[in-house]
Structure 1
Amino acid sequence: MVKDKSANERYEYNQKILQTERELEDLNTQHYQLKNTLENFEQTTEKEFRNLLEIDNEMMKRGSFSAQWDFEENQGKAQFLKNFLTQQQENLTHAFSQESQKLEDQREQFQGERDHLPWD
């Protein structure tokens, strides 16, 4: 019986492909978890800023002069934080997409190299 001379190399490429696929799965899991964490943080901060604005509004109704300034200041902070978190989420998605594409390209390269090995 003739032994496949490329069997060991093919096995090594299969292992590299599997490892790359695991890394891709891990990356996707990390992206999902981080995205959820940021979304939860954003929801929490929005809720707390709404509460703060309600307090400021109530104090304005009671005649507090500084409450109007506090209200506007807190509105500005809430908007700044919302914009900041949106930008961070976009940056995160872009970075994960780039890394995911890099791993996908690496996997395809390993598959191509494996597929070009001779079967003799």
Structure 2
Amino acid sequence: MPRHVSTADATMDDAMSAKHSHTRQASILSMRRYYAKNRDKELQRFKEYYRKNKDRIRAYKKRVREQTKCDLKHQHDAATHSPTRRTSQLLHDILSPTQPPTTTHRHTPPPASAKFNLAFLLN
């Protein structure tokens, strides 16, 4: 069932969204004024924080760099051994005309099992 919205509800929604928008803009302008007025104080605060936590910040950056390198290496390794490559190798092994090495009990799978394996992989 579609809900019918009266014009009063629509104007109420518009008024609420306009009020929210105005409040948000006022908040942004207030923050801009604060930082413009106190730019030097904030800059000094930031410098003090950095000086105090320099070793921790550098250690964090180093950890992030090493983690990124490790992740890229693992992604590269995963790309070289992708599932599609493994699947194509498996299909090649199943459908290759070469005979498997003979064993003492001479158990060879029937050709239907290769078709079943292929159908299973493709579905």
Task: Name the TM-score, length of structure 2 as normaliser.
Answer: 0.39
Q: What TM-score do the two structures reach when normalised by structure 1? A: 0.40
* Higher RCO (C-alpha under 8 Å, 6+ residues apart): 1
